Amino acid sequence: MTKKAKKTDQTKAWNRRPDRAQVYALQSRMANNKRFLIICEGENTEPYYFKSFPVVTAEVKAFGIGRSKTSLVEYAIFLVGQEKPDPEREVWIVFDMDYDPSKDEPMQRNDFNQAVQKAETKGFRVAYSNDAFELWFVLHYQLLEAALTRTEYYKQISNHWGISYERYGKGVKFCREIYQQLQNNQDSAIRHAERLHQQQLGNQPADQNPCTTVYQLVMELNKYLKK
């Protein structure tokens, strides 16, 4: 037996049934929300950084799988293939050049270029960095136009943050705090990264050093932040 509300309560806000049009509008907004699927090479730094963006009008799923370059893109293709097509979903692949002097250089360069091309062919967006994702962090503090190794980026970040980035920077707790650490300087980083990218246009990704397109993903996420 359904209990009826008292007549004196029927007009109160907490007892009103939602208008059908309001329910439909809410469901439509939820159904049409932008969705970001961010598949990262790194298992902590990149995923926790992107998940820290205070996005409210879009859904952000970011995770790292410990694969790099072409292998990462192939796995991303597999993952996306398991889901239904979604016009509101934007897939981003995040990986670095991460040059290793102990390995064959032409093979590394070819793998990096092919990974970018393959991802874009599949309709994915690519936030690549040459040489390392940490270039994006350094650009929050300075315009860096010299080609450096990730170890040199680590030293610069350590100086800016007053910690040993190589020792503490990959921990989950620290990675969760990176967004807040960098937020106030983000406009500078976008400006610096865009300048570097423009200077490198026309070159293959493996030849774009220093360069990072992470700023493009950051700008997209910023469209959906809480005001």
**How do the domains of the chain map onto residue ranges?**
20-222
pTM (whole model) above 0.75: yes
Q: For the segment 64-85, what is each residue's pLDDT rounded down to a tens digit? A: 998 889 999 999 999 999 988 8
For residue 7, what pLDDT is reported?
52
- Separation between Cα atoms, residue 23 and residue 16, nearest integer Å: 13
Q: For the segment 107-161, what is each residue's pLDDT rounded down to a tens digit? A: 999 999 999 999 999 999 999 999 999 999 999 999 999 999 899 999 999 999 9
- Alpha-carbon dihedral angle through residues 192, 195, 200, 201, given to the nearest 10 degrees: 140
Where are the alpha helices (H) located in the chain, listed in sequence order?
20-31, 45-51, 69-81, 105-121, 134-138, 150-161, 165-168, 172-182, 186-200, 214-222
